[in-house]
Structure 1
Amino acid sequence: MLTILNHTVIPEFETLFATMDVTRSPFQHLLTYSIMVLPKFISIFFISIFLILIIMRKIIQRLPINKQIRLLSKLPIFHHYYRLYKTYQFASEFALFYKHGVTLHHIVNLYQQQEDLYLNYLASVIAIHTTKGDTLDQILSRVPCIETELITFIQQGERSGKLGIELQLYSTIIIDKIQNRFQQQIRFIQPTIFLILAILIVALYAVIMLPMFDLMQTLK
């Protein structure tokens, strides 16, 4: 919108004001300059963010999988969704496995055969610590991207003998958590966007209409 205005409406008014020798205040000059520069600033900002994300992705991909998981589990804002997604992936898959009677040893073998580095890492952690006599909840407490609530559900499922049901229940809870968190962020983003649009509309009004009022006064 600003780009179109900068190439159509605003130049016409600038020509009109220059022809009629309308004197504008420093504030009006500042608003005009800001509106003309803002599209370039926004473009540079988003291009910079895009390039930074690409560079970060390349750097993270070069790290060992255990360091990737630790880093992604601590990134601001992103880590909430990352931890919830990985926990949901584990809970839903293991619930399906246990529902069909697949043993933990067989699950580890299946994960080791996958091309997914995360599944390979998870399989190796489970395999190493099960040989040491650790239980599943103790093993998962060492995985940084797993929510601690999952461990509580696993403990309850192991005590009741209904681990698959508990995992399926927790996977539905995670979906609700993701939706609620997303809705909360939308509730913050929407008013912010409306506020920015309102400021831009007022700025455009001040840039175009205030000099017009001065011009009308001069004609009178």
Structure 2
Amino acid sequence: MSSEIRRGTDRLVQREPGRLTQHSFAFGAAYDPDNLRFGPMVCHDDHLLATGTGFDTHRHSGLVIVTYVVSGALSHTGPDGTARVEAGSVAVLRTGDGVEHSELAAAPQTRFVQVWLTDDEPPETPSYAVVPGAEVDAVAAVDALPGARLTVLRLADGATGTIPAAPLTHVYVARGALLRSSMAEPLHEGDAFRFTGEPAHEVTAGVDSVLLVWSFGHPA
């Protein structure tokens, strides 16, 4: 069993015109052999975009790409056309054996957190689906791969929530802050827990907060 805290202030920052990106894992020339992945998660990026900026058409294969829009709105264009992903929504792109797509900000101050998961058995045909914010609030969990689940945990100021036990758990503070606990000093927006073989943990919000909780290795 182990727990690790990754502070947002330690993330790799990349700046481009109209875009600020913070990388959780080794990226490009910033190679770190001790920080290449966490289970099937090989990318965990936090992007802030100005309207109309983002990522023009590019190609992916062998991945499941999961995007949570924190603020603003994201315009996604792929083989099936264009979809608008509003704040609070989750989008899941299964790239299959190859797909081209683009992602551009459709509103000012668009911020989204995106995770790439390696898919050992990708479907032949790519797919794209959006879970609207209202359904995320109601259903809470999105299954991305067998044994890989994202739970959007929303906590009001002072409320306590449970991080479920799993072989691997990644907890990201997308909004707000967590109070000091037996595990750590306070966690702030952009900070993360990485748990390996840990039991369930309770966390308490210091302000209204949104946690993105990835569980890996739970029964499918």
Band of TM-score, shorter chain: under 0.3
Normalised to the residue count of structure 2, the TM-score between the two structures is 0.22
The structure with the larger Rg is: 1
| Bigger proportion of residues as helix | 1
| Bigger proportion of residues as strand | 2
